[in-house]
C-alpha cells in the first residue's frame, strides 16, 4: 500500500480507552524523567519566601492544598496554602487570599548559650529594636542600628555576656533578608575576649574567632574551625548591607557548644512524574515529600544520612494572625481562620453575607523513635526526636476544614477531622495505599496527552507548566474545596499582590484555558463554580445604571445609560470566591472601563464546550451564562450610521471608541450564543437580534504605522500617537487566539494588519503575542526564539526566567502552553490542522491533544517536517474536517483500514477533507499515491433477460480491481441494509433489488449500483365463455410480465392465444395456461363447455 508509515500509531483500543498502554506510559515517563527540577543552591527568589508574588522552589498541590519547599541549606520549610483561605482586606474594601502555614524540619542545635543573656550595643534604631531582640529566640524581632545611632560609624558591634565561660563550637546569625535580599549583612565577624571587662568599641580587646565576607545567605550557620572557651563574645559588622546602605539588621544571634554535623551536599529535586520532592540538607538529613492528589495529606519521610545519631525538630505552624496551636497526645494541631465580615454592602440580591473559613493541620511522627511533642506558642508546635544513622521516620500531616456552613467546617470540626485523618495514616500499609493512589492519579494525568519535541528548553517549560497546572487545578481530593486557584496559589504571604484574587480581564482564565487543548478538563469544574457563585452579582451590576456609567466614564459614548440591562451580566476586574468583589472602589476603577470582563471569563468555558461537545454542560451551565452576556452586549452597543459601536478600553483605563478587544469579545460571545441557542432550539427572537449586531458590527480599528496598516487598541490612533497599541502587555493582538478573531486560513488582506503589528516586535516572549503569532502562521523560528529570549532564558524573576521547578514566574505563565499547543495543532477555524505552524526540519509528535469537535488527535512528523501519522478519536460523533497534511498530494481518511468517502473543500491553506464519524471510533489520515479508484464488476447468474429479470434465485458475484494499489475492501448493501464486507456471492430471492457496491484502494472509493430482478412466481390466468361460445382468456404477472397465453381444445395441440376465440364444432373441454417473460408457467387450467 502506498501509505507513509506511522511511528506512534495507537491501537483502536488504546485510542478509545482512557488508560494508555504500558508502552505509552514508558514513553511519557522517559520524557518526564529527563526534566527533574533541581536546586543546588538557595532559590533565587527564596529569601525570605514570602514574596507577594510567586515564590521559587519545588511545587506540590492537589487543587485544594498547595505546597512549596524552601529554606536555607540546613533547614527545610514546606509552606502550605489553601485555595479557600480567604479573608477581608485590612482596608475593609474587599477580600484577599492569604497564607496558611507549614512545616519546618531541621536539626536540633541543642541549648542556645546566648538565649536571654545581656547584650550591649552602641545604639539602636528604636526602643522596640533594641539589643535584647538579638537573643530572644524569635525570628520576627530584630536589633537595628543606623550610622546615626551608632555614633557616626559604619562598623557596628554587639557584645554578649554569657555570665561565665562556655565552650563554643557553632554560631548562627539571622539577617534582615525578610525585608529584602539587599538588607542581608555582607561582611561580619564573631570575636571573643579574654579581658576582664572588655569594651565593645575597643578593637584591641577582641580576637577573631571566625570571619564571613561577601555573604548573601539570610541565615549564617557555621562551625568554628577552632572551638573556643569564653564568657564575652562580640558580633562585629563591617558591611551591614549588600549595596551602599549602612543599616545593621540582625534578627538573631545564637551560640552552641556542639558543632553541627559535617555538611552534606545540599539539593532539592522535584519529580514531576510522581509529584514528589526530594531534599538533602547540609545538616545530614534527607526528606522525600508528596502531597496526596486524593487526600488533603502531606507525607514526608525523614532519613538520617550521616553515620552518627542526629537530633531532629519538626514544627507545624500557621502564619500571622487568627491562628491557634495545640498538642493532642502526640499530634501537633495548628489552625487558622479566615473571616469576611457581613456588611450592609449591596451584593447580588441582598447584602454581603460574609464567611468564616476554618482550616486545621494535624501532624504526627510515625516511626520507631521516642518523641517529645510541645506547644511553642499560639502559632507553633514542635516534635523533637533522635534518629540513628540510616534510620527514618515519616511525618503525616492532614490539612482539613473549609468554609463554615451551619455546623459544617467549624473550627472544632476542622481540628477533629485533621487529627482523625492524620491518625488514620499512621501505619505503613495505610501510607502505602495512599501513596499508590497518589501515583496512579498522576500517571493518568500525564497520559491524558503528551508531546515529544526536539527543543529541550521549550519541552522542559511545557511539562513544567503542565505540572504546575495539575497541582493548581485538580479536583481529585476527597475534600475538594471547590475553588479555582487565584493569582498566586503558592504563597507564604498574608497580603499577596492584587489580593491574590481572580482577575477577570484575562488572568484567572490563563490557568484553565490551556487545559482544554491539553485534554485535562476535570479541573475546570472549580472555575465554573466560582463563576456561577458570582453570577447573581454580575446580573445585579448589569442592571445598575451607576455601574454601567462607571464602565463608560471617559470613553466618549454619546449618551449615558439611563436604564440598566435586564438579564445581562457585568463583571468587575477583580472578584473572589463565593460571590466576593475583592476591590470596591465604587467607581470606574472597579472595571477599568472594560465591558468585556464577563466575556473574558466565559471564553474558556465556550472552548470547553466546543472541544468536548457536552450538551448537558451547555444546557445546565454554559448557556444560561452565555445568554446573559449576549443580552448584555445587545443592550450595551450603540447603533451609529448603520454600524454597531462599542465604547470601552482594550488596555486598562485607556478609553476610546471601538476598542479591538471589546469588539472581538462581543463578536465572540454573540457568535457562540447563536450557535448554542440553535443547538438547544431556544431564543429564536434573541438569535435574530444577535445576528443583526454581528452582521453590522464595526470593524477592528486600524491605523498607518511605518507606512503599513496595522491593528490598533482603539480608533483614532496615529503614527505620532499610537497610544498603548504596542504596549509591553500586548492586549491589542490578544483576541486573535483568545476570541478566535482570525486564523491561518483568513485572506491575506485580513491577516496583513495583524502581521504588520507583529513586525513591530513589542513584548518579546509574551504568551499573548506569541500564541496569536502562531495562530497567524508567523515564522515558528522567530516565535520560539522570542519565547526563549523573553521568557525562558532570563535569570529567574517574579515574571520571567526558567526556575529550578521548570516554571516561569506566576501561574499566569501557564498560557505559554498555548504557544506550543497551537503551533502543533489548531482547530479554531472549523477544521483540524496538524503541525499547523511547526518546524519543517525537526521530528515531533503529540498524542491525545484535544480539538474542536470533541476529537483527540495523535500525530508524528519526521525530520523533514512530513507527517508520518495522523490519527483522530471521535468522542461525540461530530463531523470531522481536517486539512490535508500533505500539500500537493492526495490524502484520504480511513476507519478500521477502510477508506471513507470524503467531501473535499479548499481554502487558502489547501484541501479540507470532511467525513461523518461515529462516537468512539478512531480514524487515520493517510497520504495516497494511487489516483484511480478501483473498477467494480458485478455478475448476475442466471443470465438476465433483456429487461433485467431472472427466473431463478439470483447469485450476485462482485469483484474489484486496481492496477496501482491493493483493493482494501469491498462492501455491499441491499436496499436500505447497512454496509457489510463482501466475502461471498449474494443470493437474492423474489423481488426487485438494488444492490449497492463500494470498493476502496489508495486511489479512492468507487461505488456502483446494480438492479437485480428475480421472478419466481408464475402468472395468474383466468378464462370465461361468452354467449355464442366465444372464449376469452386473460393473465397478469406482477414480476417480469406475461410473455404469452396458450390454450388447447379437447386435448389437441397448444396454440398461442392472441385474442377471443370462437369455438366451433364439438368442443367440450378447453385447457389454458400463461407463461411469463422468464419462463415461469402457470398450472394448466380447464374450462368445461356446455353440450
Cell triple for residue 176?
Answer: 534582615
- Average of per-residue pLDDT across 753-763: 92
CA atoms of 307 and 1042, how far apart (whole Å):
110
Q: Which of 379, 361, 327 is nearest to 139 (CA)?
A: 379
CA atoms of 241 and 91, how far apart (whole Å):
33
Is the pLDDT assigned to residue 48 strictly greater than 70?
no
757 contacts 733 by C-beta, under 8 angstroms: yes
Q: What is the DSSP letter of 618?
A: I
Q: What are the E-state strand segments in 559-716?
A: 574-575, 638-640, 643-645, 647-651, 654-657, 702-705, 708-711
496 contacts 96 by C-beta, under 8 angstroms: yes
Is the pLDDT assigned to residue 481 strictly greater than 60?
yes
Per-residue pLDDT at 1064: 80
798 contacts 806 by C-beta, under 8 angstroms: no
Per-residue pLDDT at 791: 95
Cross-sheet strand order for the sheet of 1085-1088:
1055-1057, 1042-1049, 1069-1076, 1085-1088
Per-residue pLDDT tens over the stretch 554-605: 999 999 999 999 999 999 999 999 999 999 999 999 999 999 999 999 999 9
Q: Which of 437, 417, 619, 464 is nearest to 59 (CA)?
A: 464
Per-residue pLDDT at 321: 81
Per-residue pLDDT tens over the stretch 116-148: 999 999 999 999 999 999 999 888 899 999 999
Per-residue pLDDT at 44: 53
Q: At what angle do helices 456-473 and 524-542 cross, to 10 degrees?
A: 70
Q: Which of 1018, 1015, 1022, 1017 is nearest to 1057 (CA)?
A: 1022
CA atoms of 879 and 914, how far apart (whole Å):
7
Mean pLDDT of the chain: 93
Per-residue pLDDT tens over the stretch 684-740: 999 999 999 999 999 999 999 999 999 999 999 999 999 999 999 999 999 999 999
- Average of per-residue pLDDT across 1037-1048: 93
Rounded to an integer, what is the distance from CA 581 to the centroid of its chain?
A: 25
Q: Is 179 exposed, middle or buried (0-12, 13-18, 19+ CB in 10 A)?
A: middle
- Average of per-residue pLDDT across 12-17: 44
Per-residue pLDDT at 2: 26
Per-residue pLDDT tens over the stretch 923-973: 999 998 877 889 999 999 998 888 889 999 999 999 999 888 888 899 999
DSSP helix/strand/coil, 378:
coil
Question: Secondary structure of 560-596 in the HEC alphabet?
Answer: CCCCCCCCCCCCCCEECCCCCCCCCCCCHHHCCCCCC
Pairwise pLDDT comparison (140 vs 531), residue with the higher score? 531
Q: Pick left, alpha or beta for residue 600 (phi over 0 → left; psi -120 to 50 → alpha; otherwise beta).
A: alpha
Q: Which of 775, 770, 776 is nearest to 792 (CA)?
A: 770
602 contacts 533 by C-beta, under 8 angstroms: no
CA angle 614, 618, 621 (to 5 degrees): 120
Q: What domains does the chain contain, in order, with CATH numbers?
A: 12-28+839-928 (2.60.40.1180), 43-102+290-309+318-464 (2.70.98.50), 119-256 (2.60.120.260), 502-699 (1.50.10.10), 701-827 (no CATH), 935-1014 (2.60.40.10), 1020-1088 (2.60.40.10)
Cβ partners under 8 Å of residue 667, min gap 6: 694, 697, 739, 741
Is the pLDDT assigned to residue 440 strictly greater than 80?
yes
pLDDT confidence tier of residue 7, bands split at 50, 70 and 90 = very low
pLDDT confidence tier of residue 1002, bands split at 50, 70 and 90 = confident
CA atoms of 108 and 793, how far apart (whole Å):
39
Beta-carbon-side half-sphere exposure of residue 609 (alpha carbons within 13 Å) = 21
CA atoms of 818 and 428, how far apart (whole Å):
42
Model pTM score: 0.84
- Average of per-residue pLDDT across 759-787: 94
- Average of per-residue pLDDT across 620-648: 98
Highest mean pLDDT: which range of 627-636, 1036-1045, 1076-1085: 627-636
- 634-646 residues labelled b (16+ CB within 10 A) or e (exposed): bbbbeeeeeebbb
Amino acid at each position: 500500500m502506498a501509505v507513509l508509515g506511522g511511528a506512534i500509531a495507537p491501537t483502536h483500543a488504546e485510542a478509545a480507552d482512557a488508560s494508555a498502554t504500558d508502552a505509552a506510559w514508558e514513553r511519557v515517563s522517559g520524557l518526564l524523567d529527563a526534566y527533574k527540577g533541581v536546586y543546588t543552591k538557595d532559590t533565587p527568589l527564596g529569601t525570605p519566601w514570602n514574596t507577594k508574588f510567586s515564590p521559587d522552589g519545588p511545587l506540590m498541590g492537589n487543587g485544594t492544598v498547595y505546597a512549596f519547599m524552601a529554606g536555607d541549606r540546613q533547614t527545610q520549610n514546606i509552606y502550605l496554602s489553601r485555595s479557600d483561605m480567604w479573608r477581608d482586606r485590612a482596608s475593609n474594601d474587599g477580600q484577599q487570599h492569604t497564607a496558611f502555614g507549614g512545616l519546618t524540619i531541621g536539626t536540633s542545635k541543642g541549648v542556645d548559650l546566648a538565649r536571654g543573656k545581656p547584650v550591649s550595643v552602641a545604639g539602636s534604631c528604636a526602643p522596640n529594636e533594641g539589643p535584647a531582640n538579638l537573643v530572644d529566640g524569635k525570628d520576627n524581632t530584630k536589633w537595628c542600628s543606623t550610622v546615626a545611632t551608632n555614633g557616626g560609624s559604619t562598623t557596628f558591634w554587639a557584645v554578649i555576656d554569657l555570665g561565665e565561660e562556655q565552650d563554643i563550637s557553632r554560631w548562627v546569625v539571622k539577617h534582615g533578608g525578610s525585608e529584602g535580599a539587599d538588607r542581608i549583612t555582607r561582611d561580619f565577624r564573631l570575636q571573643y575576649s579574654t579581658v576582664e571587662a572588655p569594651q565593645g568599641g575597643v578593637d584591641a580587646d577582641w580576637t577573631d574567632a571566625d570571619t564571613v565576607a561577601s555573604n548573601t545567605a539570610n541565615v549564617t550557620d557555621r562551625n568554628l574551625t577552632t572551638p573556643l572557651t569564653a564568657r564575652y563574645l562580640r558580633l562585629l559588622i563591617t558591611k551591614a548591607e549588600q549595596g551602599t546602605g549602612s543599616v545593621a539588621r540582625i534578627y538573631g544571634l545564637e551560640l552552641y557548644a556542639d558543632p553541627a554535623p559535617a555538611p552534606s551536599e545540599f539539593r532539592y529535586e522535584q519529580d514531576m512524574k510522581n509529584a514528589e520532592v526530594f531534599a538533602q540538607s547540609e545538616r545530614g538529613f534527607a526528606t522525600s515529600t508528596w502531597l496526596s492528589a486524593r487526600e488533603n495529606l502531606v507525607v514526608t519521610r525523614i532519613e538520617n544520612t550521616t553515620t552518627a545519631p542526629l537530633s531532629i525538630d519538626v514544627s507545624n505552624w500557621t502564619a500571622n494572625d487568627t491562628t491557634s496551636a495545640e498538642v493532642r497526645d502526640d499530634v501537633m494541631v495548628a489552625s487558622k481562620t479566615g473571616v469576611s465580615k457581613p456588611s450592609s454592602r449591596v451584593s447580588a440580591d441582598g447584602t454581603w453575607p460574609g464567611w468564616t473559613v476554618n482550616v486545621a493541620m494535624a501532624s504526627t511522627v510515625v516511626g520507631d523513635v521516642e518523641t517529645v511533642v510541645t506547644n511553642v506558642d499560639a502559632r507553633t508546635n514542635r516534635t523533637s526526636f533522635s534518629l540513628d544513622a540510616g534510620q527514618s521516620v515519616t511525618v503525616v500531616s492532614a490539612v482539613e476544614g473549609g468554609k463554615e456552613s451551619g455546623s459544617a467546617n467549624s473550627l472544632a470540626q476542622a481540628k477533629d477531622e485533621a487529627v482523625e485523618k492524620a491518625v488514620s495514616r499512621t501505619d505503613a500499609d495505610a501510607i502505602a495505599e495512599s501513596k499508590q493512589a497518589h501515583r496512579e492519579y498522576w500517571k493518568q494525568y500525564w497520559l491524558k496527552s503528551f508531546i515529544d519535541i526536539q527543543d529541550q528548553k521549550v519541552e522542559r517549560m511545557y511539562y513544567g507548566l503542565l505540572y504546575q497546572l495539575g497541582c493548581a487545578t485538580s479536583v481529585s481530593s476527597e475534600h475538594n474545596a471547590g475553588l479555582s486557584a487565584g493569582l498566586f496559589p503558592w504563597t507564604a504571604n498574608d497580603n499577596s499582590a492584587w489580593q491574590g484574587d481572580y482577575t477577570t480581564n484575562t488572568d484567572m482564565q490563563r490557568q484553565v484555558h490551556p487545559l482544554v487543548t491539553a485534554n485535562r478538563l476535570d479541573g475546570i469544574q472549580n472555575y465554573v463554580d466560582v463563576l456561577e457563585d458570582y453570577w447573581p452579582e454580575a446580573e445585579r451590576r448589569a442592571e445598575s445604571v451607576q455601574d454601567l456609567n462607571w464602565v463608560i466614564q471617559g470613553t466618549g459614548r454619546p449618551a449615558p445609560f439611563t436604564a440598566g440591562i435586564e438579564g445581562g451580566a457585568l463583571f468587575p476586574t477583580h472578584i473572589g470566591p463565593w460571590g466576593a468583589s475583592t476591590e470596591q472602589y465604587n467607581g470606574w476603577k472597579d472595571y477599568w472601563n472594560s465591558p468585556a470582563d464577563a466575556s473574558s471569563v466565559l471564553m474558556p468555558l465556550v472552548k470547553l464546550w466546543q472541544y468536548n461537545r457536552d450538551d448537558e454542560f451547555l444546557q445546565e451551565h454554559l448557556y444560561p451564562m452565555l445568554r446573559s452576556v449576549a443580552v448584555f452586549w445587545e443592550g450595551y452597543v450603540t447603533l451609529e450610521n448603520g454600524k454597531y459601536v462599542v465604547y470601552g478600553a482594550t488596555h486598562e483605563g485607556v478609553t476610546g471608541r471601538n476598542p479591538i478587544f471589546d469588539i472581538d469579545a462581543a463578536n465572540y460571545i454573540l457568535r457562540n450564543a447563536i450557535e448554542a441557542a440553535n443547538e438547544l432550539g431556544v431564543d429564536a427572537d434573541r438569535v435574530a437580534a444577535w445576528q443583526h449586531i454581528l452582521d453590522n458590527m464595526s470593524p477592528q480599528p486600524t491605523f498607518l504605522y511605518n507606512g503599513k496598516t496595522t491593528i490598533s487598541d482603539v480608533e483614532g490612533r496615529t503614527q505620532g500617537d499610537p497610544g498603548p497599541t504596542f504596549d509591553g502587555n500586548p492586549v491589542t493582538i490578544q483576541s486573535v487566539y483568545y476570541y478566535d478573531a482570525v486564523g491561518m486560513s483568513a485572506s491575506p488582506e485580513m491577516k496583513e494588519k495583524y502581521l504588520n503589528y507583529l513586525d513591530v516586535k513589542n513584548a518579546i516572549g509574551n504568551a499573548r503575542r506569541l500564541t496569536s503569532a502562531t495562530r497567524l502562521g508567523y515564522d515558528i523560528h522567530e516565535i520560539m526564539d522570542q519565547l526563549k529570549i523573553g521568557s525562558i532564558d532570563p535569570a529567574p524573576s517574579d515574571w520571567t526566567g526558567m526556575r529550578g521547578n521548570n516554571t516561569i514566574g506566576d501561574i499566569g505563565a501557564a498560557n505559554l502552553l498555548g504557544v506550543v499547543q497551537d503551533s502543533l495543532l489548531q482547530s479554531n477555524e472549523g477544521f483540524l490542522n496538524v503541525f499547523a505552524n511547526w518546524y519543517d526540519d525537526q521530528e515531533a509528535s503529540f498524542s491525545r491533544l484535544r480539538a474542536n469537535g470533541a476529537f483527540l488527535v495523535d500525530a508524528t512528523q519526521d525530520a523533514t517536517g512530513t507527517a508520518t501519522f495522523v490519527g483522530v478519536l471521535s468522542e461525540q460523533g461530530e463531523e470531522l474536517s481536517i486539512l490535508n497534511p500533505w500539500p500537493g498530494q492526495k490524502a484520504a481518511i480511513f476507519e478500521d483500514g477502510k477508506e471513507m468517502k470524503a467531501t473535499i473543500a479548499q481554502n487558502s491553506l489547501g484541501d479540507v477533507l470532511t467525513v461523518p464519524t461515529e462516537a468512539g471510533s478512531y480514524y487515520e489520515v493517510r497520504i495516497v499515491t494511487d489516483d484511480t479508484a478501483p473498477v467494480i464488476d458485478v455478475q448476475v447468474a442466471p443470465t438476465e433477460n433483456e429487461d433485467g429479470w431472472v427466473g431463478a434465485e439470483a447469485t450476485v458475484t462482485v469483484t474489484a480491481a486496481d492496477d496501482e494499489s491493493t483493493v482494501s475492501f469491498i462492501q455491499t448493501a441491499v436496499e436500505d441494509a447497512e454496509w457489510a464486507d463482501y466475502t461471498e456471492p449474494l443470493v437474492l430471492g423474489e423481488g426487485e433489488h438494488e444492490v449497492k457496491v463500494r470498493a476502496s484502494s489508495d486511489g479512492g472509493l468507487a461505488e456502483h449500483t446494480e438492479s437485480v430482478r428475480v421472478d419466481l412466481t408464475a402468472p395468474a390466468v383466468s378464462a370465461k365463455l361468452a354467449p355464442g361460445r366465444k372464449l376469452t382468456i386473460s393473465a397478469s404477472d406482477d414480476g417480469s410480465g406475461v410473455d404469452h397465453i396458450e390454450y388447447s381444445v379437447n386435448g389437441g395441440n397448444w396454440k398461442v392465444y392472441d385474442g377471443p376465440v370462437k369455438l366451433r364444432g364439438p368442443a367440450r373441454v378447453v385447457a389454458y395456461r400463461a407463461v411469463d417473460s422468464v419462463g415461469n408457467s402457470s398450472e394448466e387450467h380447464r374450462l368445461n363447455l356446455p353440450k
